[in-house]
Amino acid sequence: MAELIVALDVSSTAEVVRAVDRLGDTVSFYKIGLELFSAEGPDVVRAVKGRGKKVFLDLKLHDIPRTVERAVKAGAALGVDLMTLHAAGGKAMVFAAKDAALACGAGAPKLLAVTMLTSLDASDLADLGVTRNMTAQVEALGRLACMNGADGIVCSPKEVARMRTVLGPGALLVTPGVRPAGAAVGDQKRVATPAQAVWDGSTHLVVGRPILEAADPCAAARAIAEEMTLASAVTP
């Protein structure tokens, strides 16, 4: 059963606490990103974990293996459930991160690789000296990460079906860019409905504004969760 993760794209712990308390039992998993973590530090993670929720800490780690290993251990000590790292950090970095997670035992964070940022295009690839096209590069980085210990990847709804085939049935596929039918798309360019993302093989859907900016955030989250449950029960 795919899980809904609400992106806490707010700027203070006070706003986080308001949002999490307002959503109550409807949502059990939250994403904390670089901006919020840089502003508020580990206390914001503690605030969410302290409310009995799961945390996806999206810091996109990319550094030498020892530094990433220690960052994963720090995340594990906070009780973080999911963490991101750049596949471009290479085999040794991903392997060191996995080693650190394994050393933390059963509750250790699962590791998600970021392949190519969706803000990059073909001309950026050329600037970076990458001669493969974007699709091949995403597949190669996803494979590299998962063969060296990553539990899955972050990918757009348009990549999910293909990456499920490439990475096999066990990989976590975490998908932002999800919009309920009829919802404002905003700055997201490659969107899918919650049902389509589930059908294509997403294990976790990350949704921010369609929930946090809704007139009734609880109702918006419940509607998405129900659509996910229904989609899991039927085939398109």
CA–CA gap between residue 96 and residue 16 (Å, rounded):
31
In sequence order, what are the residues at sequence separation of 6 or more whose Cβ sits closer than 8 angstroms to the Cβ of residue 232?
1, 2, 198
User: Collapsing DSSP states into helix, strand and coil, what is residue 72?
Assistant: helix
Q: Does 16 sit near ligand C5P (CB under 6 A)?
A: no
Nearest Cα neighbor of 111 from 126, 122, 96, 101 is 101
Does 33 engage in binding with ligand C5P (CB under 6 A)? yes
Q: Min. distance of Cβ 221 from ligand C5P in angstroms?
A: 12
Span from 40-48, 99-107, 140-148, 205-213 in contact with ligand C5P (CB under 6 A)? 205-213
Instruction: For residue 208, state whether it binds ligand C5P (rule: CB under 6 A).
Output: yes
Q: CB nearest ligand C5P: which residue? A: 208
Which one-letter amino acid corresponds to residue 196? Q
Could you give the residue numbers annotated as active site?
Answer: 60
Task: Tell me the sheet residues that pair with 168.
Answer: none
Q: Shortest distance, CB of residue 137 to ligand C5P, whole angstroms?
A: 15
> Which CB sits closer to ligand C5P, 118 or 203?
118
Total residue length of the chain: 236
Report the interface residues with ligand C5P, using CB under 6 A: 7, 9, 31, 33, 118, 154, 176-177, 188, 206-210
